Amino acid sequence: MSHRIFIFLGIFLSILLLPVTLAAAPADIRANADRMEQHIKALSAFGANADGGVDRIAFSEADLAARAYIRDLMREAGLSVRMDTAGNIIGRREGSEPGLPVIMFGSHIDSVPGGGNYDGDVGVIGAIEVIQLLRDNGLRTRHPLEVVSFTDEEGGLTGSRAMIGKVDYRMLSVVSHSGMTIGEGIDAVGGDPNRLDLAERKPGELKAFIELHIEQGGFLDAEHIDIGVVEGIVGIRWWDVTIEGLANHAGTTPMNRRWDALLSAAEYILAVNRVVTRMPGGQVATVGRIHAKPGAPNVIPGEVVLSLEIRDLDAAKIQRVFDEISAEGRRIANAHFTPIRYAEINVASPPAPTDERMRRIIAAAADGLGLSFKFMPSGAGHDAQDMALITPTGMIFVPSVKGISHSPQEFTSANDMANGASVLLRTVLEIDGGALE
């Protein structure tokens, strides 16, 4: 054969192989840490404060500017961008099979006052990174993908509540940190507070939801673990606990003739700690506020009102902790003749477990990338707890240095952010390939 034919064959073969050599095998694709860090840095300019953190309260000028930046980033990654009536920013990439439900992933970019640059942001930037990686590697999923940046997470999960059709309409008249009511805020970002029903996603529309987020606690950092596979978002219950004594003269009443409510409260607080620490498990209970009446140095406290908060992944466990605490409380009340009453405060949020299959998919994704992982609860609330009510939901945690969050000192390394996005990509691809079926 002549040289010419060889050359011709060579060109022919490389054209044949071209699509294969361009696209890396999905398993090998890793997120670009530098690109993610650049995006996080650019986002941190919106609402930057002197302490190095952000004041990017939902609906503020800074939030509006950051929202525009996120829409641009989504478009650059090839997403078609829309906003629903709750102001949630949604970037969509079509799949190859028409009619399949959406795999959705994302988080939020609003902050608390004096917040940091990673809470929520890592999840939105990481989600856009996943789209960019699919594009760079010429990969198309079967399912449509949607990246979401939820409205006003910090002010009460406003955007995700609307998406699951569980808006408390009274909430719309609550004045948020922006100075506007939540309703006015939704209007200001371009939503329609009167038509939040249109933001609702119907059952069957979504295949799954995944949120990448910083841990906001210190376990992963302290134990040098790359990835947290979230088992769920803990439920919370609150009570006002009233302890009744008898206010009396602190000088003339002998020690054996007192009904001192504050003394009983002190024993009660120790009992709360004892009960919750002697049970196995990750439950937590806190007395965070105490008010003694009448509150004078020369009067024996006649009444104490204190707060009791209990959190756990399991609602039955919360009840069990409460039952044991109230048994201890009865003992204290009887010993000191100081009756104890409970009034439950209606802020309760039930535990929101993540989908067990999703946990396994995320753990396998981390493992396949050679990353260490552990299963863990989330002590903080997230949009994922809402989404778990309408679709199989999973959450991926990356380490927060020293567990600091809601603070300008919040920090997650570029490498850890990239690990999270790599796990997110692999999770999306697994689900797309049928891992949930």
105's enclosing H/E stretch is: strand 102-108
Contacting range for Zn ion; rule: CB under 5 A; set: 114-122, 186-194, 231-239, 393-401: 114-122
Calculate ∠ Cα 408-414-419, nearest 5°: 120
Name the residue with tokens 């009102």. Answer: 305
Nearer to Zn ion, 333 or 384 (CB): 384
In angstroms, what is the minimal distance from the CB of 216 to Zn ion? 7
222 burial level (CB within 10 Å; 0-12, 13-18, 19+): exposed
- Give the residue among 173, 149, 27 at the shortest CA–CA distance from 88: 149
420 is a site residue for Zn ion (CB under 5 A): no
In angstroms, what is the minimal distance from the CB of 133 to Zn ion? 23
In angstroms, what is the minimal distance from the CB of 126 to Zn ion? 13
Contacting range for Zn ion; rule: CB under 5 A; set: 113-121, 263-271, 322-330, 403-411: 113-121
Token digits of residue 237: 């219950």
Whole-angstrom distance, CA of residue 81 vs CA of residue 234: 33
Please identify which residue in 55, 84, 119, 146 interacts with Zn ion, judged by CB under 5 A. Answer: 119
Whole-angstrom distance, CA of residue 241 vs CA of residue 129: 48
In angstroms, what is the minimal distance from the CB of 213 to Zn ion? 6
Question: Which residue is at the shortest CB distance from Zn ion?
Answer: 120
In angstroms, what is the minimal distance from the CB of 265 to Zn ion? 34
Nearer to Zn ion, 216 or 338 (CB): 216
Q: Per-residue string for binding with Zn ion, 139-168, x by CB under 5 A? A: ------------------------------
In angstroms, what is the minimal distance from the CB of 153 to Zn ion? 6
Nearer to Zn ion, 120 or 301 (CB): 120
* Partner residues linked to 175 by β-bridges: 181
CB 340, CB 333: distance < 8 Å: yes
In angstroms, what is the minimal distance from the CB of 123 to Zn ion? 7
Contacts for 298-301 with beta carbons within 8 Å, 24 or more apart? Answer: 298/249, 298/250, 298/251, 299/247, 299/248, 299/249, 299/250, 300/245, 300/246, 300/247, 300/248, 300/249, 300/250, 300/253, 300/258, 300/259, 300/260, 301/245, 301/247, 301/260, 301/261, 301/262, 301/263, 301/265
Amino acid at 278: R
Nearer to Zn ion, 385 or 391 (CB): 385
Nearer to Zn ion, 35 or 213 (CB): 213
In angstroms, what is the minimal distance from the CB of 211 to Zn ion? 9
358's enclosing H/E stretch is: helix 356-368
Nearer to Zn ion, 91 or 120 (CB): 120
Contacting range for Zn ion; rule: CB under 5 A; set: 74-82, 119-127, 166-174, 357-365: 119-127
Mode of pairing for the β-strands spanning 373-378 and 227-233: parallel
Contacting range for Zn ion; rule: CB under 5 A; set: 24-32, 95-103, 120-128, 423-431: 120-128
Amino acid at 140: R
Residues in contact with Zn ion, counted by CB under 5 A, come to a total of 2
Phi, psi of 92 (to 5 degrees): -120, 140
Contacting range for Zn ion; rule: CB under 5 A; set: 117-125, 133-141, 280-288, 422-430: 117-125
CB 211, CB 123: distance < 8 Å: yes
Amino acid at 264: S
Nearer to Zn ion, 119 or 303 (CB): 119
Nearer to Zn ion, 154 or 355 (CB): 154
Nearer to Zn ion, 132 or 378 (CB): 378
Angle between helices 61-76 and 33-44 (to 10 degrees): 150
- Give the residue among 36, 30, 27, 233 at the shortest CA–CA distance from 124: 36
Contacting range for Zn ion; rule: CB under 5 A; set: 66-74, 116-124, 186-194, 226-234: 116-124
In angstroms, what is the minimal distance from the CB of 45 to Zn ion? 19
106 is a site residue for Zn ion (CB under 5 A): no
CB 201, CB 386: distance < 8 Å: no
CB 243, CB 265: distance < 8 Å: yes
In angstroms, what is the minimal distance from the CB of 346 to Zn ion? 24
Contacting range for Zn ion; rule: CB under 5 A; set: 96-104, 112-120, 219-227, 365-373: 112-120
Nearer to Zn ion, 154 or 260 (CB): 154
In angstroms, what is the minimal distance from the CB of 118 to Zn ion? 9
Nearer to Zn ion, 120 or 155 (CB): 120
* Binding to Zn ion, residues 286-345 (CB under 5 A): none
120 is a site residue for Zn ion (CB under 5 A): yes
Which residues sit at the interface with Zn ion, rule CB under 5 A? 119-120
